[in-house]
Structure 1
Amino acid sequence: MWRTLILSRWNPLFADLPVESIIHAHQQDYYRALAESNAEGASTLFVEFVLGVIREALMSSTEQATEQGTEQAGEQVLNLVARMGEGDYSAKSLMALIRLSHRPTFLYDYLHPAVVGRWLELTRPETPTSRKQGYRLTRSGRQLVLELRQRDGGRA
C-alpha cells in the first residue's frame, strides 16, 4: 500500500492503480526478486520487478479505460471534453469554457473525473499541485471528441 500512497502523492493518477493486486498475483516473483536483491546486496532486481508491476498496472488500467470509453464518462466530463480544442488550458480557463464559477464542483465533478478517466492529462505531471498546472486532451480525449461529434452530427 505504501507504493500506491507514494505514487499517488507524486501523481494522483496512480491512486486507482491496482499495484497491490498485481503484486499479490505475482507473489512468488516478488519474494524471489526480494531475496535475490538481498543476496546480491543491490536492489536492482527488486526495483525492476516493482517497475514491471507498475507498468503492468498502467497497461491494464489503460486497457480498461479504453474499453469503458464514452459509457463511463459522465455528462460533466463529456461537456468539458467536447468544448476543448487542441492546446493547453488552465483550470480557470476550463471553468470559463463551460461557464462554471464554483471551483469545488468543477474540480470534483469535471476535472478530476476527466483526468482519472484519462481524457485529460496534466501539462506538469511532475508537479501536480503547481499553480501553473495546465491540462490538455489525451489521445483518448481527442478520440472521445471525435465520437461525440460523429454522434451529434458535428455539433460537439
Structure 2
Amino acid sequence: MIDVLRHELDRNLVVLAPTGVAALNVGGQTIHSFFQLPPGPQPVGRKLQGVSRDVVAKMDILIIDEVSMVRADLLDAIDESLRTNTGKTGVPFGGKTVLLIGDMHQLPPVISGGEEARLFEEVYESPYFFSAYCLQGLPLVTRTLTQSFRQA
C-alpha cells in the first residue's frame, strides 16, 4: 500500500516505522532515528538538528507503518517535535498530514517495567497510540482495508 501511495501521490512523503525490520520492509527509517529520540519514555519539545529538520520542512505527509506498536508517549513526542520544528506550535503535528497504518490485531507496544510502567499507569489511559493526548479531539478519518498488502 505504501508503494502505491509513493507512486500515486505527487507529494513529499516520509515513511517511518517503530522497528528496524518494519522500516526496512517499507523502505523507510525508524521513528526514533528520524526524530532523534532516545529509547524509553519520551522527552517533550526536542528540537531536530541537521537532515531531519530539512526533511520535515519539505515533508507533506508523514506515514507511520505498524502503528499498533507505537506507544502513546512516542506519538505525543512526534506531535511535539513536528510542532516545534515547523514553528506551528498551535497546530496538531505542525500542520503536517499524518497517515497511521497498521493492524491493531498484531503486535502491541512494548512496555518495560519501572518508569515506563508507571508512565502508563499514571499518565496515559493505555500504552497504545490512540491514547496519545495529541489525538484527543482530532477529527480522525479511518479506513478498513479488505485486501492484503503484505510484503513478499
The structure whose residues are more often strand, as a share, is 2
Q: TM-score, with normalisation over the residues of structure 1?
A: 0.24
Larger-Rg structure: 1
